Amino acid sequence: MKTIQLDISNIFPFIEKEKIFNNKEIISQHIQAIENRTSLGNEFLGWNNLPSSINSEDIEDIKNTSDKLRKLANNIIVIGIGGSYLGAKSVIDALAPYFDNNDNKTNILYAGHNISEDYLSELLSYIENKSFALVVISKSGTTTEPALAFRLLRNKLEEKYGKEESKNRIIAITDAEKGALQTLAHKKGYKTFVIPDNIGGRFSVLTPVGLLPIALAGYDISKIISGALKIEKNTNSKINFENNIAAIYASARYELYKSGKKIEILANFEPKLKYFAEWWKQLFGESEGKDGKGIFPSNVNFTTDLHSLGQYIQEGERNLFETVLSLETPNNTINIPSDNDNLDKLNYLAGKRINEVNKMAETGTRLAHIDGGVPNIKINIHEISEYSIGQLIYFFEKACAISGYLINVNPFNQPGVEEYKKNMFALLKKPGFEKESEEILKKL
């Protein structure tokens, strides 16, 4: 099976090649520190060797639990926010058919990632006459968005099935020993999986946080892990810098950042990758964006967004660069027919595959953007499959950690995320926030 490939040749008109390779020594030191767990934020480095250390019994437990829950319910609601839902959704959306005619499939729904009353109301109405089950993901059990959703949906579940049957329809993924959700799960008798202490939310796709929902959607988690393991082996400290795609990508981003390129746009020409880009945005945004530093991560879905943001990318401020996820082989084949009238003037494409047109659109876009002053990085993906998605997950995780160290920030904390919560709790007059309530009311 093929491995993802990295092409940075189209940044060299903007950055000297030597600068990329001049970071070899410092990046090698960072990779070694990651492996030795001596780097900044070392208490959250469990993701680094996760693919090679995943226990086969744990994988079987996830698969067996998935099989049992799928027999109980056609609709499974995954409750979580941030890394507790984005990773799983990004993989499921990438692998799922655009239009699924299978009425017996397991439908994966999501809650707890917003505080929209309309969203929750419509979700409750949707499942009114349907069989459903819950997978709640939270280390603490007190994060506002998922805790609210879980309270509402647990009440609905218990009303429908009774408390005794409901406990078989709830799976909790939480801390091993502490927290409100862990306490509730123990009290109620829910099946639980553990969120490892040494793995943060945005790096948790290859833990039960991501693997259980992916298995529930019907996909082979063993192949995902196998793909991630391939990149773990190909990016460790034994690999020469010249052959380490995570190291080179991180170095390229760093040099572009130093040259004034403050925005990275992740582009794709395959709509299935839209939510993968959302996961990527969280990964890099929360990991790098602190201490007044970091590349701003954005994403576009081409060719759709060529008719909107494409104008800005082509001729707007030259403070951005582009990373393209380039798909080599789609899963289907469609040839363009000839038309006798040819009123749309498309007969010059007759006989060609749709994918050939899409690839030429991709190549033409990349060339236009480079000519317009936008450095371009390309990541080649042979196909969209469990194996290739596993590769991409680990590749970006490793590159993200290195990138954070290059700008001297801790890639594994997110202190800024807590600021909105403090204000929200103060405005809601949560017990313990009396002083903050008084201060924020003065501001208003």
Instruction: Answer yes or no: is pLDDT of 78 > 80.
Output: yes
- Are 113 and 77 contacting, i.e. CB atoms less than 8 angstroms apart? no
Active site residues: 286, 307, 421
In this prediction, residue 415 has a pLDDT band, given cuts at 50, 70 and 90, of confident
What per-residue string of b and e applies to 5-39 under the rule 16 or more CB within 10 Å gives b?
A: ebebebbeebbeeebbeebbeebbebbebbeeeeb
Residue predicted with more confidence, 33 or 431: 33
Q: What is the pLDDT, as a whole number, of residue 101?
A: 80
C-alpha to C-alpha distance for 310 and 257, rounded to whole angstroms: 21
β pairing state of 263-268 and 191-194: unpaired
- The mean of the pLDDT values for the chain is 93
Write the pLDDT tens digit of every residue in 330-372.
Answer: 999 999 999 999 999 999 999 999 999 999 999 999 999 999 9
- Are 149 and 185 contacting, i.e. CB atoms less than 8 angstroms apart? no
Q: What is the pLDDT, as a whole number, of residue 141?
A: 86
Domains parsed from the chain with CATH numbers: 5-39+225-406 (3.40.50.10490), 50-219 (3.40.50.10490)
Q: Stretch 252-262: mean pLDDT, rounded?
A: 98
Write the pLDDT tens digit of every residue in 258-317.
Answer: 999 999 999 999 999 999 999 999 999 999 999 999 999 999 999 999 999 999 999 999
Task: Give me the percent of the chain exceeding a pLDDT of 90.
Answer: 88
Most confidently modeled range among 36-40, 103-107, 222-226: 222-226
- Are 27 and 403 contacting, i.e. CB atoms less than 8 angstroms apart? no
